[in-house]
Chains A and B, each alone.
Chain A
Amino acid sequence: MADASRFDERLTHRRRKGIVLGAVFFLATIFGLVVLITLLVDVVVQGSPWLSLDFISNYPSRIPERAGIKSAIVGSLWMIGLTAVVSVPLGVASAIYLEEYAPRGWIFKIIQININNLAGVPSVIYGILGLALFVRFFALGRSLLAGAFTMALLILPIIIIASQEAFRAVPQGIRESAFALGATRWQVIWSHLLPISAPSIMTGIILALSRAIGETAPLIMIGALTFIAFLPGSVMDPFTVLPIQIFNWTARPQPEFQGLAAAGIVVLLIVLFLMNLSAILLRNYFERFRPR
């Protein structure tokens, strides 16, 4: 054994320190969890008396017992549907160009930096842009179309970045052997790159859309209304979405509307949960088909 007098092991002290710190980390985790659970329980308790089939099938009303979120849910669904139709092809196509075609130079770096930054711009700014560009300049009015275009701009950087990451994860060997067989660049992309990266891209799209469905500020900016007692009949019609309806109810003084708002939050949470769950399940399912 080495000369014991040169080491001051203080084992008890060191172990105790480890235990204390371990407890601190645990408490930090617990704290976050407890807060979340408290919020969740509070919302569910407040909202569940108002959750019913009527709630989902009624329009908003000044009378709490007759109020529902039908127009809000339908508006939200329309909105993310249109947003997806606009943003997915644009986003994936941009990512294909940036990853597979664009020459690497300073222009490329500038584009890349800007896209990364745009992903972090506050959503209200996109609302202002949408108001000026789509509502006023293109004269689309306060329509679903204007809302969808605005939200598409919002989530476009997220989709581009997710798609780029997905393409980068495709092993270079696959591309090389495809080229070596006498394929054109597009054949390599269509036959191999896209199928292999599709699951990751899909996950990215679902997560981007889940963000879009919860956004309030940009849609308020472009004028999505808060008392819509009808369903949008076309893309040029005015509309409302779940978060705005919830927001509208929380602003009312009557306590019944607080309960309605809580019920609305519960519905929104369920929708978000289902979207995220499908993203996870999709990813797990396609994990098997990844090249190794």
Chain B
Amino acid sequence: MDDRMPTTTERLREEVREQEIQKQSSESPRAEGEQPARGRPVPRDKVKVEVENLDFWYGSNHALKDISLDISAHEVTAFIGPSGCGKSTLLRCLNRMNELIPGTRLEGHVRVDGRDIYENADPVMVRRRVGMVFQKPNPFPKTIYQNVIWGAIINGYRGNRDDLVERCLRQAALWDEVKDRLHTSAYGLSGGQQQRLCIARTLAVEPEVVLMDEPASALDPIATAKLEETIHQLKEEYTIVVVTHNMQQAARISDRTAFFYMGELVEIDDTEQLFTRPNKKRTEDYITGRFG
């Protein structure tokens, strides 16, 4: 059995349970007709991922309510919000990972480069173009080299494998540390190194978007700093979306930030704007620590 990091199903159930509790204890963040506050919009030609009127149910629980937002290409977008607000659920909708959980339902649209990823689309191909790094580093029980190359092999990679492995490890800022032990077990690495290995293997299938679900929450501060720097360099080539419960981290690494509460999008804006001059009181309450 997994050690005490919760499984995704358990975490999602936890999210849903927390939403129930919050529903009872406070009013909805949106009054009748109130829309999320949107700051500077993403220019049309820079939109990489578009979410349109997304509703998501986990069983009978309405976990995401009418979400619409744009993710800008070659930028880091952060999803923040209290536990149970749906940010992880939304992230997993972007690469169809929620389909692996029985009893879920989705309405609305998600488009990458203008193409719908749910209608007439193969989930396997979607997950290649939209990669994901998980909260707990989980390298395969193989060598470092095999970890990086496996995704590429199963997708029919025909190029030079050694080059691919080196390129991805360099992009993940791990090459110098592991270049002399590529064929040793991945479990010999530290937690922070393992997480960067997971990033490297995600990059090996040449995605366009990289989703990260609380990537630093299992890491110590030094490893976290290294990871944040890696994210900063990755955005030159990829579009990154990061879910984090750490507001300072969101402020440090992201260009745009979206704030969620109880399954709804409350506000989305350039990070600097959202953290210094938020439009909604709920946002301000959250970032100043009055709740969450």
Chain A residues engaging chain B, CB cutoff 8 angstroms = 103-104, 168-169, 171-174, 176-184, 187, 191-192, 195-196, 289-292
Additional 20 contacts, C-beta under 8 A, given A177-B201, A182-B128: A171-B138, A172-B2, A173-B7, A173-B136, A174-B140, A179-B97, A179-B100, A179-B127, A180-B95, A181-B127, A181-B151, A181-B155, A181-B205, A182-B125, A182-B127, A182-B154, A183-B124, A290-B141, A291-B187, A292-B187
Q: Which residues of B contact A181 (CB under 8 A)?
A: 127-128, 131, 150-151, 154-155, 201-202, 204-205
Most buried by B among A174, A176, A178, A180: A180
Q: Could you tell me the distance in whole angstroms from the C-beta of B218 to the nearest C-beta in chain A?
A: 11
Q: Considering only CB atoms, which chain B residue lies closest to A171 in the complex?
A: B2
CB–CB A177/B198 < 8 A = yes
Query: Does any Cβ of A come within 8 Å of B234's Cβ?
Result: no
Contact sample, A vs B, 19 pairs, CB 8 Å cutoff? A104-B102, A172-B7, A172-B9, A173-B7, A173-B138, A176-B8, A176-B97, A179-B100, A179-B127, A180-B95, A181-B127, A181-B201, A182-B124, A182-B125, A182-B151, A183-B151, A187-B154, A191-B154, A292-B3
Task: Give A176 to B91 CA distance when docked, in angstroms.
Answer: 14
Which residues from 1 to 49 on chain B have a C-beta closer than 8 Å to any C-beta of chain A? 1-3, 5, 7-9
Q: Which residues of A contact B140 (CB under 8 A)?
A: 174, 177-178, 192, 291
Task: Give A72 to B200 CA distance when docked, in angstroms.
Answer: 58
Please tell me which one of the listed residues B1, B2, B134, B155 contacts residue A177 in the complex, with CB atoms under 8 A apart.
B134
Instruction: Give the A-B pair count, Cβ closer than 8 A.
Output: 78
Q: Which residues of B contact A180 (CB under 8 A)?
A: 95, 97, 127, 131-132, 134, 202
For B, the interface residue count at a CB cutoff of 8 angstroms equals 32
Q: Which residues of B contact A168 (CB under 8 A)?
A: 1
Task: Give A172 to B10 CA distance when docked, in angstroms.
Answer: 11
CB–CB A174/B97 < 8 A = no
Most buried by A among B128, B150, B154: B154
Q: Could you tell me the distance in whole angstroms from the C-beta of B20 to the nearest C-beta in chain A?
A: 23
Please tell me which one of the listed residues B8, B150, B204 contacts residue A172 in the complex, with CB atoms under 8 A apart.
B8
Q: Which residues of A contact B2 (CB under 8 A)?
A: 171-173
Task: Give A291 to B2 CA distance when docked, in angstroms.
Answer: 10
Q: Considering only CB atoms, which chain B residue lies closest to A289 in the complex?
A: B141
Q: Could you tell me the distance in whole angstroms from the C-beta of A22 to the nearest C-beta in chain B?
A: 33
